[in-house]
Chain A
Amino acid sequence: MARRFLSLDGNEAAARMAHRTNEVIAIYPITPSSPMGEHSDAWSAQGQKNIWGAVPEVVEMQSEGGASGAVHGALQGGALTTTFTASQGLLLMIPNMYKIAGELTSTVFHVAARALATHALSIFGDHTDVMATRSTGWAMLASASVQESQDFALIAQAATLRARVPFLHFFDGFRTSHELNKIEVIDDDVIRAMIDEEAVRAHRLRGLSPEHPVLRGTAQNPDVFFQAREAVNAYYPATVEIVKEEMARFAQLTGRDYHPFDYAGAPDAEQVVVLMGSGCGAVKEAVERLLSEGQKVGMLTVRLYRPFSAEDLIAALPSTVRRVAALDRTKEPGCEGEPLYLDLVSAFGRRWKDLQGTELPEVFGGRYGLGSKEFTPAMVKGIFDELSTDSPRHGFTVGIVDDVTHTSLDWDPTWSTEKDDVTRCMFYGLGADGTVGANKNSAKIIGGNTDLYAQGYFVYDSKKSGSVTISHLRFGPRPIDSTYLINHANFIAVHQYNFVEKMDVLEAAIDGGIFLLNSPYSKDEVWQHLPARVRAEIARRKLRFYVIDAGAVAEAAGMGGRINTVMQACFFALSEILPRDEAVDQIKTAIDKTYGKRGRAIVEKNWAAVDAAIENLHEVSVPSETVEVADEALALVGADAPDFVQKVTSVMMAGKGDLLPVSAMPVDGTFPTDTARYEKRSVAREIPVWDGDICIQCAICAFVCPHTAIRMKAFAPAAAQAGPASFDTQTWRGKELPDHEMRIQVAPDDCTGCGVCVDVCPAFSKEDRSHKAINMVPKLDHLETEQKNFDYFLSIEELDRTEVKLDTVKGSQLLQPLFEFSGACAGCGETPYIKLLTQLFGDRIVVANATGCSSIYGGNLPTTPWTKNAQGRGPAWSNSLFEDNAEFGMGMRLATDHQLRYATQLLAEVGVSDSEIRALLECDQSTEEGIRAQRARLDALREKLSGRDEDEVKALLGILDVLGRRGVWIIGGDGWAYDIGYGGLDHVLASGRNVNILVLDTEVYSNTGGQASKATPMGAVAKFAASGKPSGKKDLGMIAMAYGNVYVAQVAIGANQRQTLKTLLEAESYDGPSLIIAYSSCIAHGIDMTTSMSHQKEAVNSGYWPLYRFDPRHGETDHLPFQLDSKKPKIAYREFASKEARFAMLERSDPEAYAHLMKLAQAGIDERWHLY
């Protein structure tokens, strides 16, 4: 049979096998495994069949716990069933995993292995999650590459059916799951030859049926439980044999030969590294290099980790081995050694002597690669060096600098195993600018049309707007298993000119390499514009330097600002991997393939861009004189930044976080707030500038700004005069602040340029309708002026909170936001709510934040947008998990309530007078004045008690703060509130406790890429609902109202600012649970995010999103608790929906379904309106 190759990533490679060999697939999104579910859902939606000719049923559940339950049930129903997960998701599956294994049920779970949240969340790869399942009784098969993630997905499926032991098939998150690599794909004939139909029939027959009823899942007593548990024993050694047989069968069918343990290296090796997963690629290269230097080294790849076969392990190793490094990509604090180490020690101790007859090798355990830390051949060399010392360390680490407990090994980062015949390319792009897509495409073109192998790996940064992507592409004559980033590149392309100013883009360039820059300056002008640092690098490394004005070329080709095709063409032209003409043809064919079905116009524009690119690509003649440059560091923060920011945060910001030693890190994951303002990302091309003459001082621009990049202040006229000349002000138009001036100010380096402020601005010039009170202007023309203005603006003291009418839209915007400059998407619909919340109550709240977008833009390093005021007060924030956020927040309330009671008790015990106690406990803290007075009382008491030494006094001083008003806010998205955390949310609502729950409802799982949730509206297309969501959105508000004692409100900040403001104030003042469901526009809706806010009016006007408040306090008076705040629907639902791509997609792909669902949705709206 002809060999067939495709360029795939690990997720797709594994999912292809899973989809072909299963009948039911229960899924739930979690990074980095989500794409496996997405592919499966899309394939089933397209009608792709499994090898038995049926389309697998793909079902999204409410959590991984739910998915594993559904899998368990489907297995009991006799269906071949699978799921995909990672990290916390896998933990949620553990209870069912014990059940499934205990019942000897054949299934494979495919896991993109990822770190578990401990001191911090990490979306990146290591083995902590899979190691947590070791005791479940599952077989564990580890893939080390994209090729293996496909091959082992099939081998695991074949083996589980015969062995009856369930299999956990895992590969490293991101490094394998997201790496694009050219692999040999498996055809159906091979799949069929691997799957034992008899075993499939047996599996189905074990399914529950009333035709042959059985009972499975009994409760057993001390008399038999133990024996019954031991009854499975024989299946485990048998599983090892079955895996060996299946691997042998697979080798026969495909030529790819695997074993439970695979040794590579010297036959007489004395030192061996043992590990599993993607790190094997780096070890392999290091071992090959060391072997070529005559060293007696080797490596052992662990593939079948459970059942662990000591015999096979020892048999695979040469008898000459003296020292072994057991590498674990996990950490078990307090243990004698990590799991693989312990397994080796135990296996060697038990069987080495009788199987090998030589002296027992010494085993040293070490940790590497946690949370996708780079693991390179140079580090492997460091490990072998350590094994060669007199007394190698046990419990070592590699890849970091541990200057605290000194576990880390040294390594020489310049030691490279890169081969000259491998082309190594790096591309710096801006998120969503098409760079990564074009590179994936290039890898596929080269992989698919030449004998060359291709590998692509893509690094994304921690921000959702203005983020930098770095693509690492290798092309070479052999399969590429360099499982680490490129640090010796012979081609570097920078797709955004300003990167040369803020990043060290040439760090990895090799001498004589090619540097391609997208530059607005011509080949003759560019040199004088480049920073001296870059010119020096180019000259020193003798780089061949090319420029193209890709923006202009793309514009001329009618592609707007899309430069990806232009840059791709230049890459092909310069890299000479393919002859130029052939490359051009191939790109054009690829363009046709990608866009052809969408229409000829796009194809032709792209083609034109390719041709124009090559015509406009120019080599820069590099002047021969040497460029002298001081070793200038990229100064990222000013000298006024706090010590931690200077020493730690700024290093992460510069992209050099790998260099930070252990001592720089907090031991418990606690970080300071108030750091985002030091990260001047300056990502906008255009910024808004205020025209005070036109402004009506409504403050809506500041109210809705998603990045707190627009602020309003009122101040004394003297402050206005002391500012820079460009610091225009206007007289404040409110009676409450007579003799005040005001100004609306943009934070020019923090603005993302989304344009929402301009879109919502209602004031315009009487002479020029297009000129508003705030207008987008090119940033570079105004940057310097606005920087000065902003600095001065910040220096003006904040108004006294008691002077402000904070219950008005305008007044609220005079309050200092304590959430600023987040890395959320430009135009984000969530962040304005959080910002407003912090303006109103930020100095006195604790926040429990569910995992999701808000925990990422809120808590992803290097910086956080949560900040504090001049008095040092601000929100205290924590993220527990995705599923438990309501409970987590309630715990905070319980702690506060208890401390309050305890403090009350202590007040009397320490001799505070009755009148003072009454004043402290019964004071009114519902106003800013009241809160301030209480703080003064507490300060006085603190002062009075200070110096006293009794235990009660010390105890009281430790918790005295709790007597000040404190709010608990529980914040999260719809995935949490409607799905995975709904049970907890419901319980917390029912508890009656005083917590405030803010649901930022984007109607999809935004953070993981837009999968449908139960908040997704009917007819919307989303991942996991590729054919349009057939059911309506859950009416969470109505459910909560049924309790009667819950404050419930539905708001849309873009539609009605006043109602949103009122709601937050009422919710906070309500002494009981409050639930606010906040409409949050999202890029996953497919709208122009500039209209993120104004579009919300249509959601309300169509009746789709009615605004209401349900205040149980009104039930005690003559008022009805339910107050509808929006008017009768004015437009049809269809009219609102037609403006969003999530609906429009269905209209295009399936007009009949669209019409049907729109009709149903409209009927639902009409009915609900009637009900309200």
Chain B
Amino acid sequence: MGVDLKTEYLGLQLRNPLVAGASPLTASLANLKALDDAGIGAIVLPSLFEEQIVHEESQVGGLGDIGAESYGEALGYFPPMDNYNTGTDHYLELVRSASESLSTPVIASLNGTTDRGWVRYAKCLEEAGATALELNIYLLATDAAVTGAEIEERCLNVVRAVRAEISLPLAVKIGPFFSSIANMARRFEEAGANGLVVFNRFLQPDIDLESLTVVPGLELSHSFESRLPMRWLAILRDQVKCSLAATTGIYSVEDVIKQILCGADAVMLASLLLRHGPDAVAGLQRRLSAWLEENEYRGVRQMRGSMSLAKVPDPSAYERANYVKNLVAYSGPHI
């Protein structure tokens, strides 16, 4: 008899906890179908970025203005474009066709910049047929005059505003840089989040030494990065009731298992899929079943959170001591 891989995430029944996280891979319907066929538990589409849409809209709007009505011989420089698409249409179409053609739940993802934008696009995504919505909150607090409390309130307001307008299950993808992550997690839950995705992996820019310019630093995650969500899942698991999903650095079945043990209802795969394609899903699933079977678990639900902060014999292992121990345990060539 096989083990039960089923799990519940944002109130949705998933056939297994493996979720394709938001990445360029999930932007094409062909890839989505392949993931579905490979048995993925759910799919998160890449984020719809309000900033980019507005930028494109204003660029399109500005097109007709380039040099327009300035000189009598040339009142404009471009033909009128009636069927111009600034990105929203394509994205909504992807949501629509994915929702219609896939058996697995389709979670749309949104990155807004204005209160109005968050709500407007959230509604569009709901109307387009998304099963759930992931709010990709990315607020870089660069202004020394803005306090942490203000930033926190802004983040919470986004969730409250969207929650008030749509009825879809809501996940919030949060960053690891709040002073009190556990407190924020609880407040997000209170604001209406049905789940939290830990953590948003902010892409850090790089410097090109040849041109001395700042360039986008696009690098896929590494396995060791999965430790951060793991620890926090363990901490959060017993303090919030909402779903939890792990993301970042999940490559092997071992990574998957550890996240679930700590408390993840779902485990997001992105870099792995970008490197190895949708085919990687089937192997991971097989190995997960094998491990569960070998270790005599009935299924994912049984294992989930069984090593959370409250359930490990030595909770401090997740806490500060962890740090000291690490240093001590390290023995390299210079020690």
Binding site for B on A (CB under 8 A): 31-32, 34-35, 38, 41-42, 45-46, 123, 174, 178, 431-432, 434-437, 458, 460, 463-464, 467, 469, 562, 595, 597-602, 604, 764, 769, 825, 856, 1004, 1006-1010, 1021-1026, 1083-1084, 1086, 1141-1142, 1145, 1148-1151
In the bound complex, CA of A178 to CA of B212 (Å): 51
Show 25 residue pairs from A and B whose CB-CB distance is below 8 angstroms, ordered by the A residue. Answer: A32-B73, A34-B73, A42-B80, A174-B72, A432-B69, A434-B68, A436-B68, A458-B69, A460-B71, A463-B71, A469-B69, A598-B84, A601-B57, A825-B67, A1004-B77, A1008-B74, A1024-B79, A1026-B79, A1084-B66, A1084-B77, A1145-B63, A1148-B85, A1148-B86, A1149-B83, A1151-B85
A463-B71, A467-B70, A1022-B78 provided; 20 other pairs, C-beta below 8 A? A41-B79, A174-B72, A431-B67, A431-B70, A431-B71, A434-B65, A434-B68, A436-B69, A460-B70, A464-B71, A597-B84, A598-B57, A599-B56, A599-B61, A601-B58, A1010-B77, A1083-B67, A1083-B77, A1141-B59, A1148-B60
B residues in contact with A31, CB < 8 Å:
72-73
B116 on interface, CB distance cutoff 8 Å: yes
A1009 touches B72 (CB 8 A): no
B117 on interface, CB distance cutoff 8 Å: yes
A residues in contact with B84, CB < 8 Å:
597-598, 1145, 1148-1149
In the bound complex, CA of A460 to CA of B70 (Å): 6
Chain B nearest CB from A768 CB (Å) reads 11
Contact (A595, B61) CB under 8 Å given A1142-B78, A1145-B78, A1149-B81: yes
A residues in contact with B73, CB < 8 Å:
31-32, 34, 123, 856, 1007-1009
A598 touches B67 (CB 8 A): no
A residues in contact with B70, CB < 8 Å:
431-432, 460, 464, 467, 469
Partner of A38 from B60, B61, B65, B79 at Cβ < 8 Å: B79
In the bound complex, CA of A637 to CA of B63 (Å): 37
A1010 touches B78 (CB 8 A): yes
In the bound complex, CA of A1062 to CA of B247 (Å): 57
A769 touches B54 (CB 8 A): no
B71 touches A600 (CB 8 A): no
A1086 touches B63 (CB 8 A): yes
Contact (A467, B66) CB under 8 Å given A599-B54, A1145-B78, A1145-B81: no
The count of A-to-B residue pairs whose CB atoms sit within 8 angstroms is 142
B79 touches A601 (CB 8 A): no
Contact (A1023, B69) CB under 8 Å given A599-B54, A1145-B63: no
A45 touches B58 (CB 8 A): no
Chain B nearest CB from A771 CB (Å) reads 12
B residues in contact with A41, CB < 8 Å:
79
Counting contact residues on chain B (CB < 8 A from A), the size range is: 35 or more
B residues in contact with A601, CB < 8 Å:
50, 53-54, 57-58, 117
Partner of A1009 from B56, B76, B85 at Cβ < 8 Å: B76
A residues in contact with B85, CB < 8 Å:
1148-1149, 1151
B82 on interface, CB distance cutoff 8 Å: yes
Q: Across chains A and B, which 6 residue pairs bring their CB atoms closest together, nearest first?
A: A431-B70, A1009-B74, A436-B69, A599-B57, A1010-B77, A1026-B79
B residues in contact with A1086, CB < 8 Å:
63, 66, 77-78
Question: Which of B59, B66, B83, B116 has the most A CB atoms < 10 Å from its CB?
Answer: B66
B317 on interface, CB distance cutoff 8 Å: no
In the bound complex, CA of A1083 to CA of B69 (Å): 13
- Chain A, Cβ-Cβ closest to B68: A432
Secondary structure call for the B interface = loop
Question: Which of B50, B65, B117 has the most A CB atoms < 10 Å from its CB?
Answer: B65
Secondary structure call for the A interface = mixed
In the bound complex, CA of A434 to CA of B61 (Å): 12
In the bound complex, CA of A460 to CA of B61 (Å): 23
Binding site for A on B (CB under 8 A): 50, 53-54, 56-61, 63, 65-86, 88, 116-117, 120, 212
In the bound complex, CA of A32 to CA of B71 (Å): 12
A1141 touches B57 (CB 8 A): no
Contact (A467, B53) CB under 8 Å given A1086-B63, A1086-B66: no
B residues in contact with A602, CB < 8 Å:
54, 57-58, 61
A1009 touches B77 (CB 8 A): yes
B residues in contact with A1007, CB < 8 Å:
73-74
B residues in contact with A469, CB < 8 Å:
69-70
A432 touches B65 (CB 8 A): yes
B residues in contact with A825, CB < 8 Å:
67
In the bound complex, CA of A1004 to CA of B63 (Å): 16
A residues in contact with B120, CB < 8 Å:
600
A598 touches B78 (CB 8 A): no
In the bound complex, CA of A624 to CA of B70 (Å): 39
A residues in contact with B54, CB < 8 Å:
599, 601-602
Partner of B74 from A178, A562, A769, A1010 at Cβ < 8 Å: A1010
Chain A nearest CB from B161 CB (Å) reads 16
- Chain B, Cβ-Cβ closest to A31: B73
B residues in contact with A1141, CB < 8 Å:
59, 63, 66, 78
Chain A nearest CB from B163 CB (Å) reads 21
A597 touches B82 (CB 8 A): yes
Chain B nearest CB from A464 CB (Å) reads 5
B86 touches A599 (CB 8 A): yes
In the bound complex, CA of A767 to CA of B85 (Å): 43
B residues in contact with A42, CB < 8 Å:
79-80
B66 touches A1083 (CB 8 A): yes
Partner of A435 from B56, B69, B80 at Cβ < 8 Å: B69
B60 touches A1009 (CB 8 A): no
B residues in contact with A1023, CB < 8 Å:
77-79
In the bound complex, CA of A602 to CA of B50 (Å): 12
- Chain A, Cβ-Cβ closest to B113: A601
Chain B nearest CB from A1127 CB (Å) reads 16
- Chain B, Cβ-Cβ closest to A467: B70
B88 touches A599 (CB 8 A): yes
In the bound complex, CA of A46 to CA of B50 (Å): 29
In the bound complex, CA of A1142 to CA of B82 (Å): 15
Partner of B79 from A174, A436, A600, A1022 at Cβ < 8 Å: A1022
B78 touches A1021 (CB 8 A): yes
- Chain B, Cβ-Cβ closest to A1012: B79
B residues in contact with A1026, CB < 8 Å:
79-81
Chain B nearest CB from A541 CB (Å) reads 29
B residues in contact with A34, CB < 8 Å:
73
A residues in contact with B65, CB < 8 Å:
432, 434, 437, 562
